[in-house]
A and B are shown apart, each in its own frame.
Chain A
């Protein structure tokens, strides 16, 4: 590299700059026009008043942020956090042993098991949610099963439990894959050494396996948490009208209430929570 720059210094460096321009400018221009400008416009509306029929009136105000800390809206944010956290924890509890078993399978079965985990993820998202409406509703399979044991019928659809089930169903593969990648890389000799030195299975897991697979745990958790937290389709379809999450609130501000500034403020809150999590994740990952 260095000798070649010496051989034709002027020519190459000008070519480099032209090359950088040719390759980078179309994509970056697209990102600026269709992402950065829209985001800037969106977030700038948070400090303005709402227009009567959507849009924005350019008078400064803090009322959007005051409304955000209103217990009503703060409650929705806290509820969304709670639901997304619960989903992530359950996904971790089921996903970890699943990924662990897959990583220990013989090669041929490993591939099949992995493809089988990802397969449902490649089907239409709404179809997957629809399947759960069918299973959880009054005459659905869940209540039919309960009836066999002389139980029910239970009101399972349109509860927070139904939302968590739907989110878990949609995003479980995103938990298993990074966990699998982390566990698969683990050297089995480390666990052998640990148990040879007298550590119990649980101690080996806690002191060896878990710390070494922590990056996978963090990535998987983030992959499940992020789409769960901002989701509005699953809460709407499985949670009914009683329970709403921050995604529904944002959607309604834009399509029903026509209050862009407040909708944008809610979106800002969503982004802030996610950025805090990303920063925390990279901080923990660096320490681990």
Chain B
């Protein structure tokens, strides 16, 4: 690509590529979100009735929690159905129900995620900045630390952000989700199903949160020391591949054009790679 292109030319070319991937209803995200939830819900009776052994249920439930965030993420960006369109109800349905295993209310996720896009890598304003760490193991440890009751990061930071943006009403969603989650765990524990509760929900959620915060928050922004449209995230090669890293290798495309469905970001990236290189983006080994 010619080095004489102006900033405006680059912008026009980049948008032209991105627009090709807009306005497609990602049915795969709908099937993924709703199917994943149904599998997780069905595990409970199947394990209780002895049809599925608990160890297998634990493995499936852990995968379910790891997989449950991204379909809601598509909904958070209105990719499944924008306001006023005929699939809006489906967008909201996927957004609300897919993160139930994660105990993350849709409105909390959506409002804080928009703040993340607006203020990526700004320590005080980015709700996900607390997941930043010097390397992979410190990132895992940080995720665990952020989940402690007195932590200032993680979901506790989400509460502060909701207050700051004038939406303290949404804190009620988070409180109700937490209360119902713990209520169900405790009720199951005193009904003789404590191992089932621990291995189908509590422990899978802890593992899933660590995985999600590692791959969706830490890895694509690491080292999180720059801000700005073309600098606050990166493209990177993960040893787990694009599927193992949940499509985050091409996270830069998502931050630049959040309306592109997740499964289209690799193709969009390959098309706009030269433009991103000219922009000085961090494109690491990919």
| B is a partner of A | no
